[in-house]
Amino acid sequence: MLEVFKAGKDKKLMGATILLMAVGLLMVYTSSAGLGASRFEGDVGHYFKHQALRALFAFVAMTVMMNLDYHRLQRKAPWVLIVALIALVALVVPGVGREVRGATRQIPGLPVQPSEFARFAVVLYLSSFLAKRGEAASFKQCIMPCFAVTLGAAGLVLLQPSLGSAVVLVLVSAVVLYVGGARLKHLAVVLGTGLAVAVACILSNPYQLERIRGFLGLGHQYQEDQSLLALGTGGVIGKGIGRSMQKYLFLPDPHTDFVFAIYGEETGFLGCVLLVSLFTFLLLRGLKVAASAPDRFGFLLATGLTASIGLFFAFNVGVVTGIIPTTGLPLPFISYGGSALLMNAVAVGVLLNISGHRVREGVSSGRSPWKRNVIRITEIR
Amino acid sequence: MSQSHYLASSKQSRARVFRYVAVALFAVIVGRLFLFQVWHGRAYSEQARHNRVRLEILPRIRGEILDRHGRVLAENVLSYCLLFDPFEKEFVSGAADVDEVLTSTAALGGGERLEEWRALIEKGRELPFRPVQLACNLDITQISLIEEHKSRLPGMRIEARPRRSYPHGELACHLLGYVSEARQEEIERSAEGVYQPGDMVGRSGVEESREVALRGRNGKEYVEVDARGRRVEPTPDRPPLPARERPWAGSDVVLTVDLDLQRAAEAALGEERSGAVVVLDPRDGAVLAMASRPGFDPNVFALGLSPGRWRKLNSSPLHPLMNRATQALYPPGSTLKLLTAAAAMEEGVANPATTLEPCTGVYRFGTRGFRCWREEGHGILTLLEAVEASCDVYFYQLGIRLGVDRMAEYARRFGLRSRTGVELQGEKSGFYPTTQWYDKTYGHGRWGKGVRLNLAIGQGEILVTPLGLAVFAASIANGGTLYRPYVVASQVERWDRSRSARRPGRVTPRASPGVSSVTLKALRQAMEAAVSGPLATGRMASVPGIRVAGKTGTAQNPHGQDHALFVGFAPVEAPEVAFAVVVENAGHGGSVAAPVAAAVLRSYFHIQPDTVAVAQPGDTLDTAD
């Protein structure tokens, strides 16, 4: 095995991630073939080729993060947060962001969407902040700054507008605060404020309201119904990979937000249970990495990153299976799109690095295996 | 294994909760999957096998455009269109071939369009569910032929759709604009549901500027159909289809334009000539007529214009698509002597009775002789008489006394160096040179002092739009207010037509030229004299029973014959209309543009043409300027 992969101690976690990315590539290929063929002059592989490149890039990013001592991230946390906030603010400035279907979520030229990066940055910052403060959770000194950072970033995400991402951001922060020892009373304030803003946002936006009304059975919800139809059509064993009918005609966004529905149609109940199990396994491994992290920072960071992947998974599959209203969030590692894939791969990379620090006698915290490797090469020369 | 210190902490036990959360999440999702995929699975797959869902777009109706009295200028008529759905079940299952069906349809008629259809369908594939509109305005033979062979033509159907129609053809075409089918990038860029393939988008004029109000919103309905495309009852025990969304008609737009006056203005310009007529209400800036020639028939765009015809229309040397009233720049000629006169009076250079050196037909400045249009000269004139007779020599002398920049400053004050701000797209800004501009263009000191003489009589680099000139004339008429001209009186919701049209806050004074009322009064006096005085150059603009004020202009045109101009207003005692007339390459303002103005005024004041005094042959000399 290559030296660089030794840093990730948790081989099972790494394996699950790579497996998910592979399934993702396969699904992007089958779910988008029809779309690619019609939109890009018969190029059935159009979306696949893009996604394959992004997967490669994400894998490299994961490997790099895996070999980068996560303690170095702790010192850089405020800077990472500042960069993320600047990117979010820049999106709001007219003319900087690129508008797609009425929302501005990208800055041309940047590899990740600012909101994806911001989630990582906020988790990182909260973890390093709470790690420093210890458990003395006084409201003013500890919760207020976290509160401000979380809601500030979430507010900026909301301006894009991307309600789903903002909600996940607040929830992930709440998880970090919770395991960081915040009092439940204080947490309730954070979540309550977030909830109030979200409700106000839904009520003021007819587009969001329509989705909620549809979910409650008061309006229509075409995507959800079609997605359930796709799932249902799959039956126990599915129609076979590449045989989905829904993706051709009926289901909008078959390769992004509703990729799981196409997966369900093609692989059936068995395939779905397998994939859900894989995700659950990944989450449990992530939590295990957190539990055996050598210090408080590692513990908080690992929990937050795992929660971030878990929440995306829950929200996406929840929508597809009709548990919650449409949020427009992608399925981690599976959905078409580079931003989420890259940031999730980075998150797993950090988790893997933390897992490598599990045994204290192992790698000294100041020097990463990556560095040792480099040194060894120079010595040989 | 050394347990890390923090795990001992009671707070850390909180982390354990999430393991249970993850397991619970797993259980819930698997439960849901079991419910849909195993429990209800059969019902779903039955439904998916036999039936399918088709999206029917319920077309919106574009708002109408009406004139100020509610007469229709743009409406919608029903037209039968041939639609084709390349996602018809037969094609998806491979039982039929798209191209085969297209070829056999083409054989029934419209064979020459086969290639075009293929391209349309390639485009249409990007949006599944949406039938592609192959042809419109089918006649009864075509309809019956297709209906007859429908069984061998899967995916083809005929539907009645509204089509934009302009009942008056070319009338007011530039003001109204035209519509054409939404382009691919517009469909993609617009927010959800704004444009669908086949929807019409306003491309110029009011159709474009009021697009948002006019277009309305498409409705949609998902219907379940069987394998033959017939509507069936929804299968029980499966998720219901989304509810029908009804279409919303666009608002009607009521223009300030008067259909009769518009027609009169276009008729007065004539079929053969190029030019523009703008008629404003000087009291608030409402555009009563805006004519531009040559025009085009906006109906051809709604019918679908072939690329060849479009190219022909767009590249014609006469520029029929250009709205000359707002987009063409002309040298104003002597009409701008009014500006020079205003500047001279305001700056104290002259008063209405001031006499200068007599006009001998030529004025010596430096080594050059500047000629007056009247070779034999005008003799001694006051300022008022100089406007009336349009004496060049008098204005040369004013130009020398005023200088370039003072004249340019008044041009700015009267809005002649900017856009008028009318809502129509592509309006051009007027231009009046300054010394700074001359320095920049020709180099400091490398331009002759003589330019100011030319500028003073409206020649040289000055450029104006007919609309800009009309606003200028209106501001003289109304005592010194530059209104922002407006073309839309109100927007009326469809079901609301009876309600009195509320007038939106369109009447906005843009600025005031800051010119004294004494000066403006003198100008009005001079303009009336220019139509009816003994020396009048604009006599052919006179209308019996109405006190008309005006000023002729003949703009030298390096590319051909002179442009004829006429600006003015009427009636003098209480102006109701202000106007500007430009006729390209037609000769003198007095003999060509003034009669156009007279015809427009006769229409406005309902004066029969037969009562018009016929111009005397001897007048022709004076109608020159």
CB–CB of A342/A53 below 8 Å?
A: no
Considering the domain architecture, whether residues A141 and A232 belong to the same structural domain is answered as: no
Considering the domain architecture, whether residues A324 and A290 belong to the same structural domain is answered as: yes
The per-residue pLDDT for range B324-336, each reduced to its tens digit, is 999 999 999 999 9
Instruction: Pick B37's closest partner by Cβ from A214, A269, A322.
Output: A269
pLDDT at residue B78, as a whole number = 86
Q: Which residue has better confidence, A3 or B23?
A: B23
- Maximum mean pLDDT: which of A236-250, B160-174, B600-614: B160-174
pLDDT of B282 > 50? The answer is yes
Give the whole-number percent of chain A exceeding pLDDT 90. 14
The per-residue pLDDT for range B33-78, each reduced to its tens digit, is 888 888 877 777 666 655 566 667 777 888 999 999 989 999 988 8
- Residue finishing a domain among A204, A233, A253: A204
Task: Enumerate residues 6+ apart whose C-beta is below 8 A from B394.
Answer: B356, B359, B378, B381, B383, B386
- A18 domain-assigned: yes
pLDDT of B168 > 60? The answer is yes
pLDDT at residue B73, as a whole number = 94
- Residue finishing a domain among A153, A179, A204: A204
pLDDT at residue A136, as a whole number = 54
pLDDT at residue A148, as a whole number = 86
Query: Is A234 at the interface with chain B, CB within 8 A?
Result: yes
pLDDT at residue B225, as a whole number = 66
Give the whole-number percent of chain A exceeding pLDDT 70. 72
CA atoms within 13 A of residue B382's CA, in its CB half-sphere: 12
Query: Is B87 at the interface with chain A, CB within 8 A?
Result: yes
pLDDT at residue B411, as a whole number = 94
Owner of token pair 């960081």:
A180
Considering the domain architecture, whether residues A38 and A175 belong to the same structural domain is answered as: no
pLDDT of A358 > 80? The answer is no
Q: Which residue has better confidence, B40 or B284?
A: B284
Instruction: Say which amino acid occupies B523.
Output: L
Residues 217-276 of B with CB under 8 A from A: 222, 238-243
Q: Which residue has better confidence, A253 or B17?
A: B17
Angstrom distance (rounded) from CA B411 to CA B338: 10
pLDDT band at B148 (very low <50, low <70, confident <90, very high): confident
Residues 355-384 of B with CB under 8 A from A: none
Q: What is the mean pLDDT of residues B528-553?
A: 90
Considering the domain architecture, whether residues A377 and A272 belong to the same structural domain is answered as: yes
Q: What is the mean pLDDT of residues A328-345?
A: 85
Q: Which residue has better confidence, B141 or B113?
A: B141
Considering the domain architecture, whether residues A247 and A376 belong to the same structural domain is answered as: yes
If you classify domain B259-492+502-611+618-623 with CATH, what class do you get?
alpha beta
Query: Is A284 at the interface with chain B, CB within 8 A?
Result: yes
Query: Is B119 at the interface with chain A, CB within 8 A?
Result: no
pLDDT at residue A250, as a whole number = 52
Smallest CA–CA distance from B4 into chain A, residue: A294
> For chain A, how many structural domains are there in total?
2
Q: Which residue has better confidence, B613 or A20?
A: A20
| Least confident segment among A127-136, A262-271, A341-350 | A127-136
What is the interface size between A and B, counted as CB pairs within 8 Å? 154
pLDDT of B505 > 60? The answer is no
Min CA distance, B242 vs chain A (Å)? 4
Per domain, the residue ranges of chain B are: 11-50, 53-251, 259-492+502-611+618-623
Instruction: Pick A248's closest partner by Cβ from B11, B92, B238.
Output: B92
Min CA distance, A60 vs chain B (Å)? 28
Angle between helices A338-356 and A259-291 (to 10 degrees): 20
**Beta strand ranges found along B403-492 (DSSP E):** 482-483, 488-492
Taken in order B202, B207, B211, B215, the sign of the CA dihedral is negative
Helix (H, G, I), strand (E, B) or coil at A197: helix
pLDDT band at B617 (very low <50, low <70, confident <90, very high): very low
CB–CB of A218/A209 below 8 Å?
A: no
pLDDT band at A357 (very low <50, low <70, confident <90, very high): confident
pLDDT at residue A364, as a whole number = 41
The per-residue pLDDT for range B557-586, each reduced to its tens digit, is 777 888 999 999 989 999 999 999 999 988
| Least confident segment among A167-171, B193-197, B452-456, B503-507 | B503-507
Burial status of residue B366 (CB atoms within 10 A of its CB: 0-12, 13-18, 19 or more): exposed
- A374 domain-assigned: yes
Residue range of the domain that includes A344? 1-69+219-294+312-381
pLDDT band at A194 (very low <50, low <70, confident <90, very high): confident
Residue A237: C-alpha distances to residues A272, A277, A281, B314 (Å): 9, 16, 22, 60
- Maximum mean pLDDT: which of A94-98, B214-218, B444-448, B593-597: B593-597
- Residue finishing a domain among A173, A204, A235: A204
CB–CB of B132/A252 below 8 Å?
A: no
Residues 120-179 of B with CB under 8 A from A: 122, 125-126, 128-129
Min CA distance, B189 vs chain A (Å)? 7
Query: Is B24 at the interface with chain A, CB within 8 A?
Result: no
pLDDT of A248 > 60? The answer is no
Residues of B whose CB is below 8 A from A273: 30, 33
pLDDT at residue B621, as a whole number = 41
Considering the domain architecture, whether residues A131 and A160 belong to the same structural domain is answered as: yes
Residues 248-277 of A with CB under 8 A from B: 248-250, 264, 268-269, 272-273, 276-277
- A115 domain-assigned: yes
Query: Is B93 at the interface with chain A, CB within 8 A?
Result: no
Query: Is B310 at the interface with chain A, CB within 8 A?
Result: no
Angstrom distance (rounded) from CA A30 to CA A48: 9
Q: Do A236 and B38 touch (CB under 8 A)?
A: yes
- Maximum mean pLDDT: which of A240-244, B447-451, B461-465: B461-465
Q: What is the mean pLDDT of residues B17-33?
A: 89
Considering the domain architecture, whether residues A379 and A253 belong to the same structural domain is answered as: yes
Considering the domain architecture, whether residues A162 and A200 belong to the same structural domain is answered as: yes
Q: Which residues pair with B132 in a beta bridge?
A: B84
Min CA distance, B153 vs chain A (Å)? 20
pLDDT at residue A282, as a whole number = 92
Considering the domain architecture, whether residues A321 and A361 belong to the same structural domain is answered as: yes
Angstrom distance (rounded) from CA B61 to CA B64: 9
- A303 domain-assigned: no
Q: Do B41 and A293 touch (CB under 8 A)?
A: no
Helix (H, G, I), strand (E, B) or coil at B335: helix
β-strand B65-66 against B252-255: which pairing, if any? parallel
Q: Do A249 and B40 touch (CB under 8 A)?
A: no
Average model confidence (pLDDT) for chain B? Answer: 82
- A209 domain-assigned: no
Q: Which CATH fold would you assign to the domain B53-251?
A: Penicillin-binding protein 2a (Domain 2) (3.90.1310)
pLDDT at residue A2, as a whole number = 62
pLDDT at residue B7, as a whole number = 42
B159 Cα distance to chain centroid: 31
Q: What is the mean pLDDT of residues B381-400?
A: 92
The per-residue pLDDT for range A78-134, each reduced to its tens digit, is 899 999 888 888 877 766 666 655 566 666 666 678 888 899 999 999 998 888 876
Reading the block at residue A288, the tokens are: 């295990």
Give the whole-number percent of chain B exceeding pLDDT 90. 37
Q: Do B241 and A225 touch (CB under 8 A)?
A: yes
Q: Do A236 and B37 touch (CB under 8 A)?
A: yes
Considering the domain architecture, whether residues A60 and A80 belong to the same structural domain is answered as: no
pLDDT band at B240 (very low <50, low <70, confident <90, very high): low
pLDDT of A361 > 60? The answer is no
In this structure, the number of other CB atoms found within 10 A of the CB of residue B502 comes to 9
pLDDT of A351 > 50? The answer is yes
Min CA distance, B223 vs chain A (Å)? 12
* ipTM of the complex as predicted: 0.83
Residue A132: C-alpha distances to residues A122, A180, A360, B595 (Å): 15, 11, 20, 89
Angle between helices B114-124 and B98-107 (to 10 degrees): 140
- A300 domain-assigned: no
